[in-house]
Amino acid sequence: MAKPSSSATPSSSATPSLIFDSPTIQIKDMSEEDLRGTIELLNGLGGSGQIPDDCNTKGFYSDIIRGHLRQRRLERGRLTYLLSVNPAVSNRYGFLHGGFVAAAAEFSSIACARTVMAEDKELFLGELSISYLSGAPPNAEVIIDASILRSGKHLNVVATDFRLQKTGKLIYTARSTLYNMPMAKL
């Protein structure tokens, strides 16, 4: 039996290669067939492409999330957003993608906590728990309602509910624990 290849960029021209700017990736205990399949999968997903410089800036992630949320209400300790389920935030079945639900829950929780704390404090997400109760169908309008459950000197707990606007049905619920400390302590 032949010894498995030890790098992701084998010299054989029959094997596809994965392009990285970093040193060669070492692969142990992987057959040539598994290596080839993995490389083809990553290349198909854009794994060999370069990340544009404008996408590698601070706040880019938040801008993507914020671009899909429309603020409806903002008050101390509570805020509400409206989200339209479109292909950009959908999974392959057309329903709201679970990863976007998590990102929107995190974003909403941080924004809600900011309504009750001083601006000189930095927030850290300590815990995010999400219950996926049902799916948000294609073209649905989803109301995201975040509210403070507990606010203290160093800790904020935020509950975030996702409901279908048309029926009011609860489809996702999240609870976040956010820790804060003054910038001078960092």
Mean pLDDT within 12-40: 62
Q: What HEC string does 65-127 produce?
A: HHCCEEEEEEECCEEEEEEECCHHHECCCCCECHHHHHHHHHHHHHHHHHCCCCCCEEEEEEE
Beta strands 170-182 and 121-132 are: antiparallel
Report the DSSP beta bridge partners of residue 178.
125, 156
Residues 147 and 77: beta-carbon distance below 8 Å: yes
pTM: 0.68
Residues 145 and 158: beta-carbon distance below 8 Å:
no
Q: Which residue has the higher pLDDT, 25 or 143?
A: 143
CA gyration radius, the chain: 22
- 3-state DSSP: the chain helix, strand, coil percent, rounded to 5? 25, 35, 40
Residue range(s) occupied by CATH 3.10.129.10 in the chain? 54-185
Mean pLDDT throughout 100-124? 89
- Three-state SS at 148: strand
- Beta strands 121-132 and 141-151: pairing type? unpaired
User: What is the CATH topology of the domain spanning 54-185?
Assistant: Thiol Ester Dehydrase; Chain A (3.10.129)
**What pLDDT score does 19 carry?**
47
User: Which is more confident, 19 or 97?
Assistant: 97
Distance CA(161)–CA(111), nearest Å, equals 14
Provide the 8-state DSSP code for 26: B
Q: How far apart are CA 145 and CA 80, in angstroms?
A: 4
Question: What stretch of H or E contains 162?
Answer: strand 155-164
Q: Quick one: pLDDT at residue 143?
A: 97
Report percent pLDDT > 90 for the chain: 47
Interval 81-102 mean pLDDT: 92
Q: Would you place residue 43 in the very low, low, confident or very high pLDDT band (cuts 50, 70, 90)?
A: confident
Mean pLDDT across the stretch 99-116?
Answer: 93
